[in-house]
């Protein structure tokens, strides 16, 4: 117990927010405080306000991830039912939990509920969130599912287990260069722009066959499948079926398709990976 900290180190560490307690401590100055004396009223109220703020923070954290475990259980049950209805085995449909914009605490809640496979859109965001988690959960797997800039290729190659968005020759070149430097290459999916939408990433349907063949020639068995995001306002089924037929043509086994709004349809059409964010973690702001 020191004059600067009349509550003693036990009280400070017992709060679980050591850093903030320390800042309160330094502000209080400790000028008039004697060992064992009552803290000044000012210090008492400051501590009370800090404690109230901590309770509020905690409450909002809990509110932000009310029942990730329950959502996961529900989603897994729906995946199982959809697989069964399609005459498929549930083990053949993998759930990619999409954590973009969500804090590491949400990822950890999903990890504690048994989820190991995650998807992120942006390399920068994933690089901030996932390496520390991977240190604790070594069987965690990360898929990059967002449009990939060539200047992020090296970081993506170092970070990801699967890159789902290979969609143009320039990115192939960048990934090949990055693989040489990093001494590793993740599995690759070719993203197809199944609606031929001008604003969307992915190789156009008419160019898909040639591009997939070129990727297979270059990267060999690391090219494992195809990925798509159908047009928002359309029935996704014909798009999913198109992608499934394309994968079959090229002897590719992985089909990443289906999101929170349409994953059951995707499973009926042969999806091996469904990418769900909202259904697990709630709406994004």
Mark residue 271 as left, alpha or beta (left: phi above 0; alpha: psi -120 to 50; beta: remaining).
beta
Per CB under 6 A, 260 contacts ligand PLP: yes
Query: Of the ranges 52-60, 67-75, 203-211, 257-265, which one interacts with ligand PLP (CB under 6 A)?
Result: 257-265
Q: Which stretch binds ligand PLP (CB under 6 A): 75-83, 150-158, 214-222, 258-266?
A: 258-266
50 binds ligand PLP (CB under 6 A): no
Assess contact for 162 and 188: CB atoms under 8 A: yes
Nearest partner of 269 among 242, 240, 239, judged by Cα = 240
User: Does position 150 bind ligand PLP by CB under 6 A?
Assistant: no
Helix (H, G, I), strand (E, B) or coil at 131: helix
Nearer to ligand PLP, 232 or 248 (CB): 232
Among 229, 244, 254, 269, binds ligand PLP (CB under 6 A): 229
**Of residues 33 and 98, the one with the C-beta less far from ligand PLP:** 98
CB of 27 to ligand PLP, least distance (A): 43
**166's tokens:** 């290979």
Query: What distance in Å separates the CA atoms of residue 217 and residue 224, rounded to the nearest whole number?
Result: 12
Residue number with CB closer to ligand PLP (6 or 146): 146
Report helix angle 18-28 to 41-64, nearest 10.
160
> Token pair for residue 193?
């722009």
Q: Which residues here bind ligand PLP, judged by CB under 6 A?
A: 98, 100, 121, 145-146, 229, 259-261, 275-279
């Amino acid at each position: 117990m020191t004059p600067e900290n009349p509550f003693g180190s036990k009280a400070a560490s017992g709060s679980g927010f050591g850093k903030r307690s320390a800042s309160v401590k330094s502000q209080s100055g400790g000028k008039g405080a004697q060992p064992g004396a009552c803290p000044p009223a000012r210090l008492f109220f400051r501590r009370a306000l800090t404690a109230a703020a901590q309770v509020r923070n905690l409450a909002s954290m809990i509110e932000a991830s009310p029942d990730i475990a329950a959502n996961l259980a529900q989603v897994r049950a729906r995946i199982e039912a959809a697989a069964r209805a399609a005459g498929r085995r549930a083990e053949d449909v993998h759930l990619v939990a999409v954590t973009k914009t969500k804090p590491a605490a949400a990822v950890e809640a999903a990890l504690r509920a048994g989820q190991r496979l995650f998807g992120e859109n942006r390399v920068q965001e994933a690089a901030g969130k996932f390496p520390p988690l991977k240190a604790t959960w070594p069987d965690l797997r990360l898929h990059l599912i967002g449009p990939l800039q060539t200047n992020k290729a090296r970081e993506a190659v170092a970070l990801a287990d699967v890159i789902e968005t290979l969609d143009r020759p320039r990115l192939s070149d960048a990934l090949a260069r990055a693989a040489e430097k990093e001494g590793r290459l993740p599995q690759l999916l070719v993203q197809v722009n199944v609606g031929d939408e001008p604003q969307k990433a992915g190789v156009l349907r008419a160019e898909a066959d040639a591009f997939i063949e070129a990727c297979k020639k270059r990267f060999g068995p690391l090219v494992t499948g195809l990925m798509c995001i159908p047009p928002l306002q359309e029935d996704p089924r014909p798009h999913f079926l198109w992608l499934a037929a394309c994968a079959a043509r090229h002897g590719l086994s992985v089909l990443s398709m289906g999101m929170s709004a349409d994953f059951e349809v995707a499973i009926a059409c042969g999806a091996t990976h469904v990418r769900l964010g909202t259904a697990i973690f709630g709406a994004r702001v």
